[in-house]
Amino acid sequence: MIAVAPYDARTLAALEAQTTALLGVFESYDAERIEPAIVQPADAFLDRMGEDLRRRTYVFTGPDGTELCLRPDLTIPTCQAYLARTPAADRAAKLCYAGPVFRHNPESPDRPGQSFHAGVENINAANAAAADAEALILTDNALARTGLKNVEVTVGDLNIFAGLLDALGLSPQWAERLRRHVWRPAYMGDLLKRLTGEASSGNAFLAHVGALPADEARAVLRDALGLGGIRHIGTRTIDEITERFLEQAADASSARLPRATADLISAFLAVKVPATEAVETLRRLARAASISLDAPIAALERRLGLIERHGFGLTRATFTAQFGRNMEYYTGFVFEFRAGPIEKPIAGGGRYDTLLTALGAPKPAPAVGLAVYAERLLAARQAQGAVQ
C-alpha cells in the first residue's frame, strides 16, 4: 500500500484558511465545535451506515479484542457525543466539527482513503421544517464565504417515497428494501424486475428456503454458511449475510409485485424537475394514480417555501425524486451541492430522525445535518480562481 502523500505547505495553508471560513459561519449559527475521537467502536458505524460505506470502512481489532474502526463519518460520533452529555436526549443542541474521516476508495485500492470534512448537526430543533431549511441555507452561506460560485443544488425528500410505498400497500419487507436502495438507480431497476418476476433468481435452493417459515429458513441458511466455513465477508457478519440471503429467498418464492405498481414506482423515481415545479408535478402524479401523498408533499412545500424566504432562489435547485444519500440513516429532506469541474458533491446533508434512537436515545431525537468535503471544495475553488 502506498502511503498518503502529505499536503504541501500551500495546500495546507489553503485548507486551514478554508476551514476557518467554514467554522466561522457554523459558529455564527451558534454551533459548538467538538472533536470526536478518530478511533471508534466499529459496531455503531457498521450497523447504521449502509452496505456501500461498510465496505469502505477500515476495521481492526484492538489489543483487548474489541472491534474498532477509523471513523468513516462524523455524524454518528457527534450524535454519540450529544448522548454522552444529554443521556435523556431532551435538549436541543447544535454541534459542529472539522477533521479527517477515513474511507477505503475502490478506485484507488493501493492508497489509504483519507479526507477532511467540516459540518454541523442540529439535534432536537423545535421546528423540523425550519431546521431543514436552515441546514441548506447554512451550507450555501458557508460555501459562499469561501468564495465559491456557480453552485448547483439538488434536493429530494425520502418521506415522499416512503409515503408512496405506504399508499401502495406494499409489504413491510418490500417497502423497506425499496426505501433503503432508492438512491441506487441500477439496483432499483433490477430489484423491481425481480419483485415483478421478470428476472427470476433461477436458484432452486433459495426458492425452497423462501417457502419455509422465517425461523426455519434462517436456521437452514446459517447451517449452510457454517458448513462452508463462512463467518465474515468483508465487514458483514454471518447474521447480516443470512439476512441478505433471506431477502433473495423471498424474491425467489414470494408473490409478485403487480406490473402496474412497479410502473408507478418507476414513474415516481423518474421525476426530475426544477424545484419550483416539484410540488405540482408530484401532486399531478399522485392524482393520476388515485393515491394520497398530501401530507409528505405539503411538508416538502413548507420546506421549499422556508428556503425561498431565506433569499435562496429555488430556480437554483433541482428536485430529483430518486435522490437520496449513501448513508442509510437519512429519513426525510436531503440536499447536495455540486460545482464544476468537480464530478462528486462538495457538500450535502439531510434529515435523520431515527439515528439517535438507534444509538441508544431513550426517546425520539430528530435531527438534521450537513457536511462539506474540504478537498473537493478546495479543488472547485481553485478551478474557479477563488484561492489566493
At 6-46, the pLDDT tens digits run 788 999 999 999 999 999 999 999 999 999 999 999 988 87
Name the band, by pLDDT with cuts 50, 70 and 90, for residue 233: very low
Name the band, by pLDDT with cuts 50, 70 and 90, for residue 173: confident
Query: Over 90: is that where the pLDDT of 187 sits?
Result: no
Query: Over 90: is that where the pLDDT of 237 sits?
Result: no
| Burial class of residue 60 (count of CB atoms within 10 Å of its CB; 0-12, 13-18, 19+) | exposed
Residue 301 pLDDT: 98
For residues 282-310, give the mean pLDDT. Answer: 96
Query: Over 70: is that where the pLDDT of 111 sits?
Result: no
For residues 98-125, give the mean pLDDT. Answer: 87
Query: Over 80: is that where the pLDDT of 246 sits?
Result: no
For residues 209-226, give the mean pLDDT. Answer: 61
- The answer to whether 29 and 138 have CB atoms below 8 angstroms apart is yes
Domains of the chain: 1-149+364-388 (3.30.930.10), 152-197+260-338 (3.30.930.10), 199-255 (no CATH)
Q: What share of the chain is helix, strand, coil (3-state, %, to 5)?
A: 45, 15, 35
Residues 6+ apart with CB under 8 A from 229: none
This prediction has a pTM of 0.84
Name the band, by pLDDT with cuts 50, 70 and 90, for residue 130: very high
Residue 333 pLDDT: 97
Residue 3 pLDDT: 60
